[in-house]
Amino acid sequence: MAPGLIERLFRTQGARDAAALRRLHETCGTLLSERGAANSAKFAELAIEHYTALGDDARAAFFGLLAERFGPDAGRVLACARAYAEERSAGNLARLFEAVEPPRQELLRRINLGPRGTAALVRMRVDLLKAMKSHPALAAVDADFTHLFGSWFGPGFLELARVDWKSPASLLEQIIRHEAVHAVRDWDDLRRRLEPDRRCFAFLHPALPGELLIFVEVALLDDMPDSIAPLIEEHAVDARGSRARCAVFYSISNCQPGLRGVSLGNFLIKRVCEILRRENPEVRRYCTLSPMPGFATWVRAGAPLEPPRAPRGAAAQLERAREAVRAALQGGTLATDAALLENLEPALREALERLAVSYLYATRDTDPASDPVAKFHLNNGARIERLNWLANRSRRGLAESFGMMVNYVYDLERIEDYHEGFVNGRVATSRALLRRA
Amino acid sequence: MAPGLIERLFRTQGARDAAALRRLHETCGTLLSERGAANSAKFAELAIEHYTALGDDARAAFFGLLAERFGPDAGRVLACARAYAEERSAGNLARLFEAVEPPRQELLRRINLGPRGTAALVRMRVDLLKAMKSHPALAAVDADFTHLFGSWFGPGFLELARVDWKSPASLLEQIIRHEAVHAVRDWDDLRRRLEPDRRCFAFLHPALPGELLIFVEVALLDDMPDSIAPLIEEHAVDARGSRARCAVFYSISNCQPGLRGVSLGNFLIKRVCEILRRENPEVRRYCTLSPMPGFATWVRAGAPLEPPRAPRGAAAQLERAREAVRAALQGGTLATDAALLENLEPALREALERLAVSYLYATRDTDPASDPVAKFHLNNGARIERLNWLANRSRRGLAESFGMMVNYVYDLERIEDYHEGFVNGRVATSRALLRRA
Amino acid sequence: MAPGLIERLFRTQGARDAAALRRLHETCGTLLSERGAANSAKFAELAIEHYTALGDDARAAFFGLLAERFGPDAGRVLACARAYAEERSAGNLARLFEAVEPPRQELLRRINLGPRGTAALVRMRVDLLKAMKSHPALAAVDADFTHLFGSWFGPGFLELARVDWKSPASLLEQIIRHEAVHAVRDWDDLRRRLEPDRRCFAFLHPALPGELLIFVEVALLDDMPDSIAPLIEEHAVDARGSRARCAVFYSISNCQPGLRGVSLGNFLIKRVCEILRRENPEVRRYCTLSPMPGFATWVRAGAPLEPPRAPRGAAAQLERAREAVRAALQGGTLATDAALLENLEPALREALERLAVSYLYATRDTDPASDPVAKFHLNNGARIERLNWLANRSRRGLAESFGMMVNYVYDLERIEDYHEGFVNGRVATSRALLRRA
Amino acid sequence: MAPGLIERLFRTQGARDAAALRRLHETCGTLLSERGAANSAKFAELAIEHYTALGDDARAAFFGLLAERFGPDAGRVLACARAYAEERSAGNLARLFEAVEPPRQELLRRINLGPRGTAALVRMRVDLLKAMKSHPALAAVDADFTHLFGSWFGPGFLELARVDWKSPASLLEQIIRHEAVHAVRDWDDLRRRLEPDRRCFAFLHPALPGELLIFVEVALLDDMPDSIAPLIEEHAVDARGSRARCAVFYSISNCQPGLRGVSLGNFLIKRVCEILRRENPEVRRYCTLSPMPGFATWVRAGAPLEPPRAPRGAAAQLERAREAVRAALQGGTLATDAALLENLEPALREALERLAVSYLYATRDTDPASDPVAKFHLNNGARIERLNWLANRSRRGLAESFGMMVNYVYDLERIEDYHEGFVNGRVATSRALLRRA
């Protein structure tokens, strides 16, 4: 944040907001002082009240304050680093550590001591993420939120809850509201997703009572599914799901935008696998039926191609496939239209599938252009198992990926290998998949 | 930890222990690696198993490893500190922060991901505290435990539980085991302490299910008590405690030696005050009846005296009082004997009380010689209200402080003032108390 | 049930049903025998299975069996009655009691010992009530069900549950399904009825886990309401209902048709009054806003009139009012039409109101023609407080009572007086109401 | 109760008690009246208060009142019986039923409507059972209590609770207080009985919250035990009891003297068998290790002998065995002394065992002289499996049965056969046992 920004921010506030902001600044000072230490809960409550009273701009200004006035003292950091370099004693390390930690971290920790302090900080971060779009320098502040949230919302402190039709309505309505992959139409639709052949698990946290953090929906089926409609629309044939040999994670959704970037989904999937392994020992396979949200955009954008396999001519072949697809798109013989896709000429379909495999195969941990869902599951240690043609005929499914969906498989014995490989640039796939490349 | 220590530690282990230690070291490496990141719960469980299998010496050696091999890289720290000094960007700060944080912190965080990982770390720290007695350099490792525990056991994550006769026996037996101030003789004694004129509150933590962290016992009385016996021994006159105007915190005990130094008591007392204020609105005063554990030792040791008030001659008068007391102790006319103390000549009693007031008044936050109980309550923002002669006739009470006890008062309106004053060297007292100085 | 009926019933069953019925009959015999006593749960389960497998007619035949073959032995009853008349000893009384109790009562008690036996019996009675329509002689069997249910579902064994938005969805959907007075449109409508200015209480029973027996909806308002629409449709102004001085029971619905005739509503209302008195001490008045379901039918039917007050000419005046109303109904100047009623000529409205008061005032405990809602509340000890013109503009409200609704008031000090009076033919009303008669 | 008794009872009361009794009588009248029907909870509470205020004699007088003034009207009973004999209609049966039922039954049902009414009635019956010792005519009143309790405490309404070390101390102390077979010395002893190789189950009832009705203690062992000491005294070898093939019911105790005669133990044992079958599928045998409380008394009393088997001379042989035992008892060569019994001459031991088998084998359902424990288990459908010499060396065990104990076996497949046989005079035994007869 450029020097002078705070002043400008202060100036641009209305008189009332500026006064409120000053009060909040002052309370933060007290909270960090000895006086505040004695009764942190009280001053934390006050700080939260002051913050809540602020408008959007004043909130952004407050984050600016945190960035500018509550950061570490560079001079002191350097001195401490030098002392530690000279003598690597425990005392010198402690002093360095203390010098480096921005005072705003302690401030956030103390705000956390107020009644419902954690919930207030999670809401505060929603504002911060919004403000960061205009003020990228606030990333330093966000790093402190992330650091603390990562510690507070560690998996050891999360409660895993089974969600079913006996769960409180106040929890269930959060499922309806936050389901981000396959929207829940209404309560009847929700009830179907909680029938005995389904499982739904969520993480909660003692400091956010009654609030879901994240949830995953699972279907117990006989086989790995190749289409989403039966999972969403139809009622259970085998109501108990008791003979199921395949557990399908068909939707995972975050409920707390303020916890963005805090790793929850990875732990949730693994905890749920553990539970299913214990309670449904006949299940042999843990897999997903997942969207491919970035594919259509990627096809249109025409990024560099990277063929999964390198026989002679593979790159050229792939390039030709893309050319054919893009031409068909422009010529109108290919579109995100179910009827058209159903009757697509075989060569074009083959080209599309080949491109999809190559798109997935190019997923890289650090590449912001990679498919986010692929990145999530591959990073969790899953492998890409199968591409499913016209598996999602919803408007969104067609628009995102011409209706294609992917099965990722969680092979509990190979998770570490796969994850390690992925971090080192190797994407795990089934053999069958590569043959289509 | 001096260079070469690890090697020596390794050498001194038996072959079997050395092998076990090597396996643990290796597992820690994996846990910190990418491979470990994919399935931290599994490797954390393994690390805990390996650790648990170690003997005492090998555990000490493991802490040595943490100190030597899992600390920050001094060169990198210095480089990052310089970069930050040159440009105070968020990126530079993040890199510095990451360089300064010892890798063992991340290691402990990952161990925490294992099943019952938090409990394992709390037990591990008990071993560490023991090992630190012989190896003070392990303090650097302990700093990391303390840092993490402070974050994980923050008051927002603690569950306050009312403990009564309907509580699980498995909780109640922890009260019997850990009551550190006035020992609970048996279950009947415990039941008396849970009668309707009493309150008992405890902190629990979701990651240590079924385990008390700390508890406080409260008696609801008509007046501030001047003797411990009725609280411990007698049955309630007013069984409901419903007319009580005074809430007395007469015992507070920690149950987790592995959480030493993590601030719990301060928050517990304040939360309990809040609850009592709501549920027993007729209570007007929140106070303690507390021991003075270091007094007798201090009298015998003959430390420099500091008179609470400074009229001419105060210091000399105090010195004379101590001389009289020490002479009587050596001469046998004063001893930690109830009968003797009951019939003590007035001048000697006055001398003892004067000394006690001066002892308490000299309490300083940072002085390791100060009375620990006084330090705890004064730091919490309480004030010293009254000295009570022969308030505790138990063998221990007589030995520690010639049977004297102290009432500290928590005046909810003045807690911040008192705490701030104490940190700046001012001890809050009632006027009546000072008159006895 | 006429002799030979059983035989006929048996004959009319298909071969398969007859066989099933015979199996059930046999199992009932075993269940009542010593063999059955040793493991009643097992044979009870078997009997329930056999019963469940029967079709509707075979079920009716089974009830016929209970009536004919499982009744008391008249000869033995007479002998025992004579012995008791001669000597009123405890032994003779016990024998008489045993002789009089139909064996089917013991049979039902033993069926109740099976897993989910109570639920099975409650469902069985739904069938019995249906069968009774064609076979009135089954009333003797129904008397045994009623006798036992009255004992098992006594208020001491009911659990009073507060229902709110945190209640399990599986409970809430029962509210939606069974709300019999003012239909719940959907989940949003339900949520509005569970907002903080509302209360909903239900009875559950340990032997019917997860099933509501009856529930009551309460609105906390400033004044006694004169129209149902705001209660059903609008959102709370004072969300906490904290200043409310009036608790309005605006809907009470049974959820178990199999428990018809078992007194639940009376106890529910009184328990809820107790709770509200404790939790909302500022509430001064407990009242209802109730429908008058039989009024329009009664007006059309032209039953004998009974004027509430007997000044000279009252009867004639009332008769004239009715003539006017009926003429207007036939002439089409009066109809169950909101617009028409709103603009009704004053004389006709006055005539309708006069008739309504007289209709209510004629309510008698034992008169099957009396208004059922009036009978319920008057028998509970309430008084009729106020008639409300056009208080319910729903199609049903207009059709049943030209849109009029009634407030009954529960004056906790006078409940016994009012109930006693009602049983003796006196209807409690406010003075204001009678003035309109 | 002889006529005039009430008057006498009234006269013998002090003036104050007589007044209190009159108030109670009056309240009972109101409670049964229409006035009482409207607000039964209120008048029930009043009746309970009045009753509680009475002394022991006045309570007996109250039961006399119930017997004399609240019984059925003999004339009306006779008339109704005649009407029913003439026409067996449902209406006539209903009227007869109503006439026969003593009004005090309805009175008790209405008292049950008061707050904690069920608990009050259970306590009341404790008084009644005491009063019956002097006034046997009160048996008619007791029959009504028993009838109602049998209905209210039916197994469908009981909650089965697993009791373990996590149970509330307030429940556990009831185990200590009521364990009637093998006294629990203290809390440590109790904890041992709740270790992982043990199970303890209890029935509770929603109308008696927090009170145990009955509990059973189970040990999970490898084999059927032949001695009680290891079960009571030793710690678990296999702490989890996970390999156990034998579940031993080694103690069953009632906690509510007011529920005497209400069948609870039979249902408890069968429910626990069900649970163990589900949770511990490796358990193959369900048995007991039971005392034989009446044996020594029976030997001394010299009742007629009934040999289990009837080969020629069996009766004479048995008679000789008893003579030998009684002579040894009188001669002092046999006594309830562990050392003596351990070194008993073989012939005498054999005689004792033969007598024991014959004693058990003579158990009859209706014989008040039969062993109560044998009667309980045989009536439940168990069989006598094995006699165990010196299985209980406690003072009480030696005194009751010379230290012998019995294993009863619950063979889940044969329970009905055994029970049916027992009711018809056949005692189920193992073959091995009879060989010792």
Interface predicted TM-score of the whole assembly (ipTM), two decimals? 0.84
pLDDT: which is higher, C355 or C16: C355
Two tokens, residue D303: 């009742």
Given an 8 Å threshold on Cβ–Cβ distance, is C168 in contact with A170? no
Given an 8 Å threshold on Cβ–Cβ distance, is D77 in contact with C88? no
- Rounded to whole angstroms, how far apart are CA atoms A96 and C61? 90
Q: Which of C167, C186, C210 is the closest to A169 by Cβ?
A: C167
Shortest alpha-carbon distance between residue A37 and chain B (Å) = 8
- Rounded to whole angstroms, how far apart are CA atoms A342 and A349? 10
Given an 8 Å threshold on Cβ–Cβ distance, is B93 in contact with A71? yes
**Active-site position among C25, C178, C182, C377:** C377
CB-neighbour burial class of residue A366 (10 A; exposed 0-12, middle 13-18, buried 19+): exposed
Shared domain check, A422 and A300 = yes
Task: For residue range B237-272, list pLDDT tens digits in order.
Answer: 555 556 789 999 999 999 999 999 898 998 999 999
Task: For residue range D254-283, list pLDDT tens digits in order.
Answer: 999 999 989 899 899 999 999 999 999 899
Q: Which of A165, A186, A210 is the closest to C169 by Cβ?
A: A165
Per-residue pLDDT, A10: 61
Cβ contacts of B365 on chain A, cutoff 8 Å: none
**Residue B419, domain CATH:** 3.40.630.150
Per-residue pLDDT, A18: 83
Q: How many CB atoms lie within 10 A of CB A284?
A: 9
Interacting residues of A117 by C-beta distance below 8 A, sequence separation 6+: A44, A48, A111, A207, B156
Asked which of D100, D131, D152 is the last residue of a domain, the reply is D152
Given an 8 Å threshold on Cβ–Cβ distance, is C166 in contact with A166? no
Shortest alpha-carbon distance between residue D275 and chain B (Å) = 23
Examine the pLDDT at C176 and tell me if it is beyond 90: yes
Shared domain check, B215 and B109 = no
Specify whether the CB–CB gap between B197 and B159 falls below 8 A: no
List chain A residues with pLDDT less than 50: 1-3
Closest chain A residue to B424 measured between Cα atoms?
A: A34
Shortest alpha-carbon distance between residue A47 and chain C (Å) = 26
Shared domain check, D174 and D116 = no
In this complex, does chain B touch chain C, defined as having at least 3 beta-carbon pairs under 8 Å apart?
Answer: no
Query: What Rg value do the Cα atoms of chain C yield, rounded?
Result: 26
Q: How many CB atoms lie within 10 A of CB A410?
A: 23
Shared domain check, B252 and B317 = no
Shared domain check, B148 and B18 = yes
Asked which of C240, C266, C288 is the last residue of a domain, the reply is C288
3-state secondary structure of B88: coil
Helices (H), A261-414: 265-279, 295-301, 314-331, 338-342, 346-361, 372-380, 395-401
Q: How many CB atoms lie within 10 A of CB A278?
A: 8
Residue ranges making up the domain that contains C48: 5-152
Shared domain check, D278 and D390 = no
Q: Comparing C-alpha atoms, which of B93, B80, B98 is closest to residue A71?
A: B93
Two tokens, residue B365: 């936050």
For residue C322, give the amino acid letter: R
Shared domain check, C221 and C350 = no
Shared domain check, B81 and B19 = yes
DSSP labels, A133-188: HH-GGGHHHHHHHHHHHHHHT-GGGPEEEE--TTSBHHHHHHHHHH--SS---SHH
Per-residue pLDDT, A6: 59
Which secondary structure element, helix H or strand E, spans residue A285, and what is its range?
A: strand A285-288
Shared domain check, A225 and A92 = no
Examine the pLDDT at B17 and tell me if it is beyond 90: no
Specify whether the CB–CB gap between D248 and D114 falls below 8 A: no
Cβ contacts of A96 on chain B, cutoff 8 Å: 77, 100
Examine the pLDDT at B304 and tell me if it is beyond 70: yes
Per-residue pLDDT, C336: 83
User: How many CB pairs (< 8 A) connect B and D?
Assistant: 32
Shared domain check, A162 and A142 = no
Task: For residue range D90-113, list pLDDT tens digits in order.
Answer: 788 888 888 989 999 999 999 998
Query: Would you mind telling me the total number of residues written for chain A in this entry?
Result: 437
Of the ranges A352-361, B79-88, C297-306, C314-323, which is most confident? A352-361
Q: Comparing C-alpha atoms, which of D340, A380, D241 is closest to residue B39?
A: A380
In this complex, does chain D touch chain A, defined as having at least 3 beta-carbon pairs under 8 Å apart?
Answer: no
Closest chain D residue to B209 measured between Cα atoms?
A: D166
Shortest alpha-carbon distance between residue D206 and chain B (Å) = 17
Q: Percent of chain C, pLDDT > 90?
A: 57
**Active-site position among D40, D251, D253, D290:** D290
Given an 8 Å threshold on Cβ–Cβ distance, is B156 in contact with A112? yes
Cβ contacts of D165 on chain B, cutoff 8 Å: 168-170
Given an 8 Å threshold on Cβ–Cβ distance, is C100 in contact with D102? no
Cβ contacts of C173 on chain A, cutoff 8 Å: 187
Tell me what the mean pLDDT of segment C47-70 comes to: 93
Shared domain check, D9 and D135 = yes
Given an 8 Å threshold on Cβ–Cβ distance, is A166 in contact with C167? no
Task: For residue range B148-191, list pLDDT tens digits in order.
Answer: 999 899 888 899 999 999 999 999 999 999 998 888 989 999 99
**Residue B182, domain CATH:** 3.40.630.180
Shared domain check, B10 and B123 = yes
Q: Which of D167, D186, D210 is the closest to B168 by Cβ?
A: D167
Specify whether the CB–CB gap between C97 and D96 falls below 8 A: no
Mutation target for C interface from D33, D96, D278: give the one with most C CBs within 10 A. Answer: D96
Per-residue pLDDT, D75: 85
Q: Which of A167, A186, A210 is the closest to C168 by Cβ?
A: A167
Two tokens, residue D74: 């003999």
**Active-site position among C251, C290, C358, C401:** C290
Cβ contacts of A165 on chain C, cutoff 8 Å: 168-170
Q: How many domains does chain D have?
A: 3
Q: Give the residue numbers of B annotated as catalytic, written as ranges.
A: 290, 377
Element counts in chain B: helices (H) and strands (E): 22, 7
Shortest alpha-carbon distance between residue C138 and chain D (Å) = 8
Given an 8 Å threshold on Cβ–Cβ distance, is D168 in contact with B167? yes
Q: Which of D81, D140, D420 is the closest to C38 by Cβ?
A: D420
Q: Comparing C-alpha atoms, which of C358, C343, C372 is closest to residue C306?
A: C358
Cβ contacts of B85 on chain A, cutoff 8 Å: 74-75, 77-78
Given an 8 Å threshold on Cβ–Cβ distance, is A97 in contact with B96? no
**Active-site position among A25, A377, A401, A419:** A377
Examine the pLDDT at B5 and tell me if it is beyond 70: no
- How high is the mean pLDDT of chain B? 89
- How high is the mean pLDDT of chain D? 89
Examine the pLDDT at B2 and tell me if it is beyond 60: no
Which secondary structure element, helix H or strand E, spans residue D15, and what is its range?
A: helix D15-32
State the residue for tokens 């509302």: C198
**Active-site position among A40, A251, A290, A358:** A290
**Active-site position among D358, D377, D401, D419:** D377
In this complex, does chain A touch chain B, defined as having at least 3 beta-carbon pairs under 8 Å apart?
Answer: yes
Which residues, in sequence order, are bridge partners of residue A162?
A201
Examine the pLDDT at C39 and tell me if it is beyond 90: no
Q: Which of A170, A186, A187 is the closest to C166 by Cβ?
A: A170
Asked which of D256, D288, D320 is the last residue of a domain, the reply is D288
Per-residue pLDDT, C313: 74
Examine the pLDDT at B434 and tell me if it is beyond 90: no
Closest chain B residue to D168 measured between Cα atoms?
A: B168
Closest chain B residue to D166 measured between Cα atoms?
A: B168
Residue C377 known to be catalytic: yes
Cβ contacts of D210 on chain B, cutoff 8 Å: 166
